[in-house]
């Protein structure tokens, strides 16, 4: 796959150099007049009943707080350097149960107090773009890095954009590669001495014998290529289409996702009186030991296709619509449709309700808790790979001041954007997401 990426970047480079050299002009407008700084923050909270860490049952409570600072700097009339630095911190009942023994009463319905209950992700993306004198050709290149406790990612990419038909038409080509490395953390029963083990009847047992094999490979690589086309139809309408090709290879399983097999005996730790009610939230003190960890193929091929259509009704109301179809070789197919309706309520304020619908089929490798057989080659009980429908409802507002009358030091406030969304999934997962962004322009 790596040679395909090399060919892609050679193609992008050849297309770039084949363009006519910038001509000498008397005047050209700068691509970016002055430095812009965006401050972004989000709060995300979810709950559900199908923790992949606990084999498809258990609490999915998670809270995540993320912040980003994006700085766009004009290097000259034609070039822009953009730096995006972010950090995200979360607490998770699900991942905390990688080691449920930290709790005096281990069970899949509550969080333990161990180190796996929380983590932080730091990321950095640097992008450089150049526009031709006539502003009809743009190339860009980027590099990214992100890291958390058990995962490291290095990415790079590039793209070209050509505008024509008096800038009413646009076509873009992009390519990206991400080279990732796991530092696998396995469920605690595969790493440590066990406390007293009980069988299904609640009797002490020494027969627990899981099908566990540690990973021999820790790499996960992802490669993508994308082509998009956009067209201004008239003064009121605009549409765009895109087509992506994505290839993943390497370790695509998660090392801490437990598996329970229908043809294997069950073994537990904790208080045996709760074993009969193990799958119920009334279980306050028993945790089932894994038969194995998730195992998925080492390749995945994805094909998304989508389109956007925006319509300007009048000075007050417009419509933004989106549709995407997705398919892959794990038998997952999905449809996404969304609509956003901005209402301009004054010269500075815009209010916009939002709705998004999503539906997908299940992967051929998915089965619920304790349904897979130990003789199968691949298996997962991660409900992200199940069949489900999802609805997302939201409301947002935007404040825009083109004159940047409010200032902080040398920066004028140009824009505030706030959004709140509620998410409901048919398998019981629900979430609330709030985001806010501030854009400042250097004066």
Q: What is the pLDDT of residue 370?
A: 98
Q: Give the pLDDT confidence of 282-324 residue by residue, as tens digits.
A: 999 999 999 999 999 999 999 999 999 999 999 999 999 999 9
Instruction: Look at residue 392 and tell me if it is in a domain.
Output: yes
Average pLDDT over residues 85-94: 91
pLDDT, position 114: 57
Domain assignment present for residue 2? The answer is no
pLDDT given for residue 27 in this prediction:
63
| pLDDT value for 35 | 97
Of 5, 31, 38, 42, the closest CA to residue 431 belongs to: 42
Rounded mean pLDDT of 38-51?
97
pLDDT tens per residue, range 173-211: 999 999 999 999 999 999 888 999 999 999 999 999 999
78 within some domain: yes
**Alpha carbon distance 132, 20 (integer Å):** 9
28 domain residue, yes or no: no
Domain count, the chain: 1
Domain assignment present for residue 83? The answer is yes
Distance CA 197, CA 226 (A): 52
Our measurement of the distance from residue 162's CA atom to the centroid of its chain's CA atoms, rounded to an integer in Å, reads 28
pTM of the model: 0.90
Q: Tens of pLDDT along 320-338?
A: 999 999 999 999 999 999 9
Least confident segment among 2-16, 72-86, 362-376: 2-16
Average model confidence (pLDDT) across the chain: 92
Q: Does position 18 have pLDDT exceeding 50, yes or no?
A: no
pLDDT digit string (tens) for 389-426? 999 999 999 999 988 888 888 899 999 999 999 999 99
Does position 245 have pLDDT exceeding 80, yes or no? yes
Region 123-136: mean pLDDT is: 97
Judged against a pLDDT cut of 70, whether residue 3 lies above it is answered with no
Mean pLDDT, residues 159-164: 98
pLDDT at position 235 is 94
**What CATH code is carried by the domain that includes residue 388?**
2.40.160
Range of the domain at 320: 35-442
pLDDT band at 115 (very low <50, low <70, confident <90, very high): low
Q: Report if residue 286 sits inside a domain.
A: yes
Residue at 29 is within a domain = no
| Predicted local distance difference test score (pLDDT) of residue 22 | 45
In a domain, 336, yes or no: yes
């Amino acid at each position: 796959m790596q040679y395909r990426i090399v060919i892609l970047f050679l193609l992008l480079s050849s297309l770039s150099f084949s363009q006519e050299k910038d001509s000498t002009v008397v005047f050209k407008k700068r691509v970016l007049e002055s430095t812009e700084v965006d401050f972004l923050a989000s709060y995300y909270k979810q709950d559900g009943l199908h923790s992949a860490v606990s084999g498809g049952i258990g609490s999915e409570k998670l809270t995540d707080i993320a912040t980003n600072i994006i700085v766009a700097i004009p290097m000259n009339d034609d070039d822009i350097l953009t730096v995006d630095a972010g950090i995200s911190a979360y607490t998770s009942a699900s991942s905390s149960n990688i080691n449920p023994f930290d709790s005096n009463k281990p069970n899949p319905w509550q969080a333990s107090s161990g180190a796996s209950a929380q983590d932080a992700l730091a990321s950095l993306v640097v992008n450089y773009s150049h526009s031709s004198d006539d502003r009809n050709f743009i190339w860009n290149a980027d590099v990214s890095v992100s890291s958390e406790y058990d995962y490291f990612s290095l990415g790079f990419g590039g793209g070209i954009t050509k505008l024509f038909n008096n800038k009413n038409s646009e076509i873009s080509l992009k390519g990206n590669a991400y080279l990732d490395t796991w530092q696998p953390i396995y469920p605690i029963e595969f790493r440590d001495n066990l406390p007293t083990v009980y069988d299904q009847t609640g009797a002490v047992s020494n027969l627990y014998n899981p099908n566990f094999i540690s990973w021999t490979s820790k790499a996960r690589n992802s490669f993508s290529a994308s082509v998009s086309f956009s067209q201004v139809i008239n003064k009121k309408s605009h549409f765009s289409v895109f087509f992506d090709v994505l290839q993943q290879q390497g370790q695509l399983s998660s090392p801490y996702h437990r598996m329970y097999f229908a043809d294997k005996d069950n073994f537990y730790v904790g208080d045996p009186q709760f074993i009969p009610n193990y799958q119920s939230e009334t279980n306050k003190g028993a945790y089932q030991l894994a038969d194995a960890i998730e195992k998925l193929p080492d390749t995945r091929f994805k094909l998304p296709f989508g389109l956007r259509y925006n319509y300007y009704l009048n000075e007050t109301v417009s419509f933004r619509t989106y549709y995407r179809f997705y398919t892959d070789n794990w038998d997952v197919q999905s449809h996404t449709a969304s609509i956003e309706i901005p209402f301009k309520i004054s010269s500075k304020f815009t209010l916009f309700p939002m709705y998004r619908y999503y539906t997908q089929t299940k992967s051929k490798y998915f089965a619920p808790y304790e349904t897979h057989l130990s003789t199968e080659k691949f298996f997962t009980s991660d409900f992200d790979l199940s069949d489900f429908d999802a609805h997302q409802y939201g409301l947002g507002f935007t404040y825009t001041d083109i004159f940047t009358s409010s200032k902080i030091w040398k920066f004028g406030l140009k824009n505030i954007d706030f959004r709140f969304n509620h998410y409901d999934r048919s398998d019981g997962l629900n979430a609330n997401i709030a985001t806010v962004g501030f854009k400042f322009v250097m004066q």
